C-alpha cells in the first residue's frame, strides 16, 4: 500500500471525521445499532455449537459434514473480511454494514428452512459473507463517529464487548428454543436482530467514505483459495486419510495459490494484506497469538458442548447455562484487560493469557465419562480468564509491532487471523473428535465381545448421531457403557492438542513480542 494511502487509512481525513461527527446522543445511538450487527455475528457462532447435536440427529450428517456446518461461516468471514473493509472505505461504511446485515438476516432465514446438510452449509457460508461485511464496517463507523480519543476508546470497548455478549447469550437462548422447538428456531435469533438493525441503521447511523482505497481482486480470489483448500484438506483428510488423492490435490492447490498470493500481494500497489508487515518478528508472532486464541476458544467451546450433550446427556438449555462459566468470564475479564495490560505490559499479558488458557484446556481433562459438571467448571473458568486476557491486548500488540502509518492495516490483519483461528479450531479439534470416536468405540465394543459385523453397524450409526433404541436389550447396556468413555477419550485428545498448541504459542510470544520498534 502506498505510504499516502496507509496514512489516510490509519488516521482518516478531517473532512471524513467531521462528516461522521454527530451530536453525542446520536453517536451512542449509532453505536447501539452497529452493536446489534456485531452480536448477530457472534450469537450465530455459539448458538450453532449448542444446536450441532440436534442438527446431526435430525439431518443424519456425516462427521465431515458436521464440521463443515460449524466451519463454513467462519471460513467465509476470513476469506473476505479484508476486502469487505476496503469496500466500505470505497462505497460507504453504512452501506456495507447495512448490506451485510441484510445478507445475514436473509441467509439465516434460509438456514431456518434448510432440510439438508448441504443447504445448511450453504446458508452458513452466506452468513459468513454478511458477517465479513458487518465486522470491519461497524468498527469503522464507530471510529469515525467518535472523534474524541477518550470517547472513541470507550466506544470501541463497548463494540468489542458485544462480541463476548453475543457468545454468552447464544447458548442459553438457543437452549430455550431447542427445548421448545426444533434446531431451525435457533436461526430466528439472527432474523430478529437483523430486522431491527435494518430498520434503525438508515435513521441513526451516519455514512462515511474513504475513496482512496481500491479493491484487490486477485488477492481476494487467491486468499480465498488458500484458506479454503487448507481447511478442506484438514476436514476431509480426517475422514479419508491425509494421503488420499483429493487431499494431495488440495495440498497442491494450497501451495500453488499461496505462492501466487504472496507474489501478487508483494507487487500490488494497494494489497489486500501488506505481507511486508511480517518482516517484523513481533507482528508475525502476534498474528499467531490471534490465531491460537480463537483456535482454542472456539475449538474448546465446541468440544465442551459436545461432551456435555453427548456424554453427560444434558439438554441444550442446561448446556448453554453451564457454558456461561467460560463465556461470562471472558466478558468480565475482557472489560478489565485494557487497564491490566498497562500495568504488566503486552508481552507478559499475552504470554500469561496463552499459558492460562492452555492450562484451562488441560484441566478439562479431569472430566471423565461419569463426572459431574463440577469437574468441568474450573477448566471452563480458567479458559475464559485466559481468552479474556488475549483479545484486546493482541490488537494493541499488532499495532505496536509495525510503523505508525501501517496501524490500520495491522488492525485489519489481526482480525483476519482471529477469524482464521475460528475456522481452524472447530475444524482441527472437531475433526479429531469425530474421527477418533469411531475408533475408540470399535475397540471398546470388540473388547466387550460384540461381533465385528454388529460393531460396524453400531459404530456407523453412532457416528451419524444414531441411538441405541433399535438394538436388542442385551446390546444396549454394552453400547451405552462403551459410547460415553469412547467419546470422552476422543474429546480428551482434542483438549490435549488444543492445550499444547496454546502453550507452545506462548514460547515465541515471550521471546519476540515487543522486540520491534515503531517508526
Mean pLDDT of 415-427: 76
Q: What pTM did the predictor assign? A: 0.77
Mean pLDDT of 370-390: 92
Q: How confident is the model at residue 496 (pLDDT cuts 50, 70, 90)?
A: very high
Query: Can you tell me the distance from the alpha carbon of 296 to that of 506, in angstroms, rounded to the nearest whole number?
Result: 13
Query: Which comes out higher in pLDDT, residue 203 or 468?
Result: 203
- Match 455478549 to its residue by C-alpha cell: 165
Options 1.20.140.10, 1.20.1250.20, 3.40.50.10420, 1.10.10.10; CATH for 1-215 is 1.20.1250.20
Percent of the chain with pLDDT over 90: 28
Percent of the chain with pLDDT over 70: 84
Q: What SS3 class is residue 456? A: helix
- Match 487431499 to its residue by C-alpha cell: 247
- In this predicted structure, the answer to whether residue 31 has a pLDDT above a threshold of 90 is no
- In this predicted structure, the answer to whether residue 349 has a pLDDT above a threshold of 70 is yes
- In this predicted structure, the answer to whether residue 99 has a pLDDT above a threshold of 70 is yes
> Among 66-75, 131-140, 367-376, which is the least confidently predicted range?
66-75
Q: What SS3 class is residue 288? A: helix
Q: Could you tell me if 394 and 286 are in contact, meaning their C-beta atoms sit under 8 angstroms apart?
A: yes
pLDDT of residue 319: 83
Q: How confident is the model at residue 473 (pLDDT cuts 50, 70, 90)?
A: low
- In this predicted structure, the answer to whether residue 386 has a pLDDT above a threshold of 90 is yes
pLDDT of residue 40: 87
Q: DSSP class of residue 207?
A: P
Q: What is the mean pLDDT of the chain?
A: 81
Domains 1-215 and 277-519 are alike in CATH topology: yes
Q: In this structure, how many other beta carbons lie within 10 angstroms of the beta carbon of residue 4?
A: 10
- Cell, residue 242: 491425509
Q: Look up the CATH superfamily of 277-519.
A: MFS general substrate transporter like domains (1.20.1250.20)
Query: Which comes out higher in pLDDT, residue 63 or 88?
Result: 88
> If you write DSSP's letter for every residue of 217-268 in order, what string do you get?
HHHHHHHHHHHHHHHHHHHHHHHH-TTSHHHHHHHHHHHHHHHHHHHHHHH-
Q: How confident is the model at residue 139 (pLDDT cuts 50, 70, 90)?
A: confident
> If you write DSSP's letter for every residue of 347-416 in order, what string do you get?
HHHHHHHHHHHHHHHHHGGG--TT--GGGTHHHHHHHHHHHHTTHHHHHHHHHHTS-GGGHHHHHHHHHH
Query: Can you tell me the distance from the alpha carbon of 7 to that of 3, in angstroms, rounded to the nearest whole number?
Result: 6
Domain boundaries, the chain: 1-215, 217-267, 277-519
Query: Can you tell me the distance from the alpha carbon of 214 to that of 89, in angstroms, rounded to the nearest whole number?
Result: 9
- Cell, residue 349: 499479558
Kind and range of the H or E run holding 200: helix 188-204
**For the purposes of burial, counting CB atoms within 10 Å of the CB of 260, is it exposed (0-12), middle (13-18) or buried (19 or more)?**
middle
pLDDT of residue 3: 33
Amino acid at each position: 500500500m502506498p505510504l499516502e494511502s496507509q496514512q489516510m487509512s490509519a488516521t482518516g481525513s478531517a473532512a471524513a471525521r467531521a462528516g461522521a461527527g454527530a451530536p453525542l446522543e446520536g453517536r451512542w445511538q449509532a453505536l447501539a445499532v452497529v452493536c446489534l450487527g456485531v452480536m448477530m455475528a457472534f450469537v450465530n457462532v455459539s448458538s450453532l455449537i449448542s444446536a450441532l447435536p440436534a442438527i446431526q440427529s435430525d439431518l443424519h450428517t456425516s462427521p465431515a459434514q458436521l464440521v463443515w456446518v460449524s466451519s463454513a461461516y467462519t471460513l467465509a468471514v476470513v476469506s473476505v473480511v479484508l476486502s469487505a473493509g476496503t469496500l466500505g472505505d470505497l462505497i460507504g461504511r453504512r452501506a456495507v454494514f447495512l448490506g451485510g446485515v441484510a445478507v445475514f438476516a436473509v441467509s439465516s432465514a434460509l438456514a431456518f428452512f434448510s432440510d439438508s446438510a448441504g443447504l445448511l452449509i450453504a446458508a452458513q457460508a452466506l452468513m459468513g459473507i454478511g458477517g465479513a461485511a458487518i465486522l470491519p464496517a461497524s468498527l469503522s463507523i464507530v471510529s469515525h463517529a467518535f472523534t474524541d480519543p477518550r470517547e472513541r476508546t470507550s466506544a470501541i470497548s463497548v463494540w468489542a464487548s458485544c462480541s463476548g455478549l453475543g457468545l454468552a447469550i447464544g447458548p442459553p437462548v438457543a437452549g430455550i428454543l431447542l427445548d421448545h422447538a426444533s434446531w431451525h428456531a435457533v436461526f430466528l435469533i439472527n432474523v430478529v436482530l437483523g430486522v431491527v438493525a435494518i430498520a434503525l441503521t438508515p435513521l441513526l447511523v451516519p455514512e462515511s467514505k474513504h475513496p482512496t482505497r481500491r479493491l484487490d481482486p486477485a488477492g481476494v480470489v487467491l486468499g480465498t483459495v488458500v484458506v479454503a483448500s487448507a481447511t478442506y484438506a484438514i476436514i476431509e483428510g480426517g475422514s479419508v486419510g491425509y494421503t488420499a488423492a483429493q487431499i494431495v490435490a488440495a495440498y497442491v492447490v494450497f501451495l500453488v495459490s499461496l505462492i501466487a498470493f504472496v507474489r501478487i500481494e508483494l507487487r500490488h500497489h494497494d494489497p489486500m494484506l501488506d505481507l511486508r508487515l511480517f518482516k517484523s518478528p513481533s507482528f508475525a508472532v502476534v498474528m499467531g497469538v490471534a490465531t491460537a486464541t480463537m483456535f482454542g476458544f472456539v475449538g474448546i467451546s465446541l468440544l465442551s458442548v459436545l461432551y456435555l450433550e453427548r456424554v453427560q446427556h444434558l439438554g441444550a438449555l442446561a448446556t448453554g447455562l453451564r457454558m456461561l462459566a467460560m463465556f461470562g468470564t471472558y466478558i468480565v475479564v475482557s472489560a478489565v484487560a485494557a487497564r491490566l495490560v498497562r500495568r504488566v505490559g503486552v508481552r507478559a499479558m499475552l504470554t500469561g493469557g496463552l499459558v492460562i488458557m492452555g492450562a484451562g484446556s488441560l484441566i478439562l481433562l479431569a472430566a471423565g465419562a461419569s463426572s459431574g459438571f463440577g469437574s468441568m467448571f474450573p477448566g471452563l473458568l480458567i479458559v475464559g480468564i485466559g481468552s479474556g486476557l488475549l483479545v484486546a491486548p493482541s490488537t494493541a500488540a499488532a499495532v505496536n509491532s509495525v510503523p505508525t502509518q501501517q496501524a490500520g492495516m495491522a488492525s485489519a490483519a489481526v482480525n483476519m487471523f482471529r477469524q482464521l483461528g475460528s475456522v481452524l479450531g472447530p475444524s482441527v479439534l472437531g475433526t479429531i473428535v469425530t474421527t477418533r470416536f469411531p475408533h475408540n468405540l470399535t475397540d471398546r465394543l470388540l473388547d466387550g465381545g460384540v461381533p465385528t459385523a454388529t460393531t460396524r453397524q453400531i459404530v456407523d450409526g453412532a457416528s451419524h448421531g444414531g441411538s441405541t433404541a433399535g438394538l436388542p436389550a442385551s446390546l444396549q447396556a454394552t453400547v451405552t457403557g462403551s459410547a460415553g468413555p469412547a467419546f470422552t477419550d476422543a474429546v480428551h485428545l482434542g483438549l490435549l492438542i488444543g492445550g499444547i498448541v496454546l502453550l507452545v504459542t506462548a514460547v515465541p510470544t515471550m521471546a519476540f513480542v515487543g522486540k520491534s520498534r515503531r517508526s
